[in-house]
Amino acid sequence: MDFRFTPEEEAFRQEVRDWLKDNLPESWVGDRFSRERDPQTWNVYREFAGRLATKNWVAPAWPVQYGGLGLSVMQQLIFNEEMSYHQAPIGYSTIGVGWAGPTVIVYGTEEQKRKHLGGITSAETMWCQGFSEPGAGSDLASLKTRAVRDGDDYVINGQKIWTSGAHYADWMILLARTDTEAPKHKGISYFLVDMKTPGITVRPLIDMMDNHGFNEVFFENARVSRDSLLGEENRGWYMATTTLDFERSSIGGAVGARRLLEDLVAYARETRLNGERLVDEVRVRTRLADAAVDAEMGELLSYRVASLQSRGLVPNYESSIAKLFNTDMQLRLAIAGLEIMGLYGQLTPESRWVPLKGRLERQYLWQTGMVVGGGTPEIQKNIIAMRGLGMPRQ
């Protein structure tokens, strides 16, 4: 196996790096985590997405006719790696570009593609994902939100939870039950819903980082037209699994761990405890070496997913392996950093004594959520056991 990139791919990497040098917002570089609680941060994301749009780089791997550049999967991997390594503010379009858009490309009518894809690639519309409910997370198919046909419309009632970014989103990918008699997987439909629809209420949920990232979303007789339905009625579950495959296969993010590790190594070199450099302590060296091996493995698992995609295959349990390993690896890295820094590591970004702008404390809390979002470790392991190892369903 050859892990080297081609000269063209390396040239593309350099182009992305050069562009980032000129376009990463001044106030953002190296200071992301101290700004996260500032409500203005959202404007940074929005503005950066607008800059990407001028290069057609919001969804560069999408086909040209849908507003992308038709880049190869490997170029997309490189692009994601550079954005992740440089901690670029790209959260604005994650759901639209990564999950909603690709599902519309696969299952949408021409009209739906025309209506939605251009807004995503021009960074004019932002999407959220209304899948989870208070009683339906891992067991998503037991969701209870109802969509009932009424003439040319569907009338939606129910509640979603943990809806990331719903307070900014223009559109939602929504799963709702359209048949209560059918087996639970066969009575679900997939909708593309305008968040301005009367009857939709978004209420904030404040997370343990003290941030407003996700929400509860309530539907009270929210009326949407029939052309909001994606694909066939009652076939939503199968489209949702496609969305989740896209969600879990997020390639290139593992490189963010390499950046944090490099910064931790620099910190351990520069910091002295009782006259000794931290990096000279065996305990610290071992932790950093383990983290380096971990980060390398995370990247290789991402490469495996990208390599399958580049051959036109749809990664499935391979995405679950990468998701399971990479989210846990980044959490382990945060824990290693916190241990190396001792009590200083627990300081929040606002503290004048905080090392590395408080990234470790933030990373620890953030990554704890990332392990759960997109499916918990147990759910990933079930997928790996059944689809990867061929073991029977419990």
Ligand X SMILES: Cc1cc2nc3c(=O)[nH]c(=O)nc-3n(C[C@H](O)[C@H](O)[C@H](O)COP(=O)(O)OP(=O)(O)OC[C@H]3O[C@@H](n4cnc5c(N)ncnc54)[C@H](O)[C@@H]3O)c2cc1C
Classified as helix, coil or strand, 216 is strand
Note if 247 is an active site residue: yes
| CB nearer ligand X, residue 199 or residue 373 | 373
Count other Cβ atoms within 10 Å, centred on residue 173: 26
Maximum separation of any 2 CA atoms in the chain, in Å: 78
In 3D space, the residue among 225, 233, 223 whose CA is nearest the CA of residue 152 turns out to be 225
* Nearest distance in Å: CB 176, ligand X: 12
According to DSSP, the residues that pair with 229 across neighbouring strands are 191
Residue whose CB is less far from ligand X, 153 or 216: 216
Q: Residues interacting with ligand X, by CB under 6 A?
A: 128-132, 137-138, 162-164, 214, 369, 372-373, 375-376, 378-379, 382
Task: Kindly state the smallest distance separating residue 128's Cβ from ligand X, in Å.
Answer: 6
Alpha carbons 158 and 142: distance in angstroms, whole number: 13
Q: How far is the CB of 136 from ligand X (least distance, A)?
A: 7
> At closest approach, how far in Å is the CB of 164 from ligand X?
3
Cβ closest to ligand X, residue 91 vs residue 373:
373
Residue whose beta carbon is closest to ligand X: 137
Give min distance, CB of 245 to ligand X, in A: 14
Nearer to ligand X, 87 or 215 (CB): 215
Give me the half-sphere count of Cα atoms (radius 13 Å) on the Cβ side of residue 76. Answer: 24
**Which one of 82, 133, 247, 361 is the catalytic residue?**
247
Phi, then psi, of 111 in degrees rounded to 5: -65, -40
Closest to ligand X by CB, 303 vs 366, is 366
Closest CA to 327 of 362, 388, 375: 375
Q: Which is nearer to ligand X, 30 or 91 (CB)?
A: 91
Alpha-carbon gap, residue 331 to 360, rounded angstroms? 10
H helices of the chain, where?
A: 7-23, 32-35, 41-54, 73-85, 94-95, 101-107, 110-121, 236-248, 255-270, 282-310, 317-341, 359-372, 377-383
Termini Cα distance of the chain:
36
> Residue 214 Cβ, how far from ligand X at the closest point, in Å?
5
Q: Tokens standing for 6?
A: 């081609």
Parallel, antiparallel, or unpaired: how do β-strands 276-277 and 272-273 relate? antiparallel
- Residue 135 · residue 142 · CB < 8 Å: yes
Please list the active-site residues. 247
